[in-house]
Structure 1
Amino acid sequence: MPHFDEFYANKLRGSLGVTDAESVLDLRGAPRAQAEASLADMLERSRFAKGKTVAVRFDGPVPGGGETLFQPVGRQLLDAKRRGWVERLQTLPSQDGLGFYVALAGRPEKTPEAR
């Protein structure tokens, strides 16, 4: 869609999902501590690499209760967005299950003045 900014063109196409992401961080079946550590590692490494998109997936709620990773992972990603490490953050479409579509900012471009 040449007449729209890419962000708005994606809005018209529908939500971005697992097939649109360059990679997938699959946290399904992982305990909370391991999931948080894996996500923190991915975010830290992303600061020194080229920006990319990642689908972060996790399990849905189980019958009878129990916490999902939605809140703890969401908090970590929101904190990363505030720090400028994440450019875009949205939930995955329902057909992809629970998770987030994340556009990582990557290493900031050096300006000619900074060189």
Structure 2
Amino acid sequence: MPHFEDFYANKLRGSLGVTDAESVLDLRGANRPTAEASLTDMLERSRFAKGKTVAIRLDPPPEGGGETLFQPIGRQLLDAKRRGWIERLQTLPAGDGLGFYVALAGKPDRERD
């Protein structure tokens, strides 16, 4: 079996959505400070548990346009990915609405014992 770079392997795997995730963080209806605090809490707790997958759901843009939580939450998730707390990060498929599919790294094996 050939080895693919993560980018290409993820393309072959297809988009993972809400039904594929082990849990859902529903931020629909939340204001920005509450959403950011909820995400920070989830990311901090994930560092001390085993890895899992999470679908993060966000509100769609309001009628006529406007701001959503997509960009600020996305930045927070990218920062967590750079820190090694997230193994996989992608947007949800269109049928699931606006949001992200995240595979949390969890606690490293050497620290679990």
Is TM > 0.5 for Structure 1 vs Structure 2? yes
Query: Which ranges in structure 1 are unaligned for 5 or more consecutive residues?
Result: none
Displacement, 1:67?
1.0
User: What do you get for the CA RMSD once the two structures are aligned?
Assistant: 1.8
Pairing of 1:1-115 with structure 2 (within 5 A):
3=1, 8=9, 11-110=11-110
SS in 2 for 1:110: helix
Query: Which ranges in structure 2 are unaligned for 5 or more consecutive residues?
Result: none
**Amino acid in structure 2 at the alignment position of 1:75:** R
Moved over 2 A (4+): 10-14
**Amino acid in structure 1 at the alignment position of 2:103:** A
d(CA) in 2 for partners of 1:41 and 1:50? 15
Identity, % of aligned positions: 79
Residues 11-53 of structure 1 show CA distances to partners (whole Å, capped at 9, x for unaligned) of 4352000000000000000001000000000000000000000
Normalised TM-score (structure 2): 0.87
SS in 2 for 1:60: coil
Displacement, 1:88?
0.5
Displacement, 1:63?
1.5
Normalised TM-score (structure 1): 0.86
d(CA) in 2 for partners of 1:57 and 1:42? 14
Question: Larger C-alpha radius of gyration, 1 or 2?
Answer: 1
Using a 3 Å threshold, how does the CA distance of structure 1 residues 64 and 104 change in structure 2: closer, same or farther? Answer: same
Displacement, 1:4?
7.2
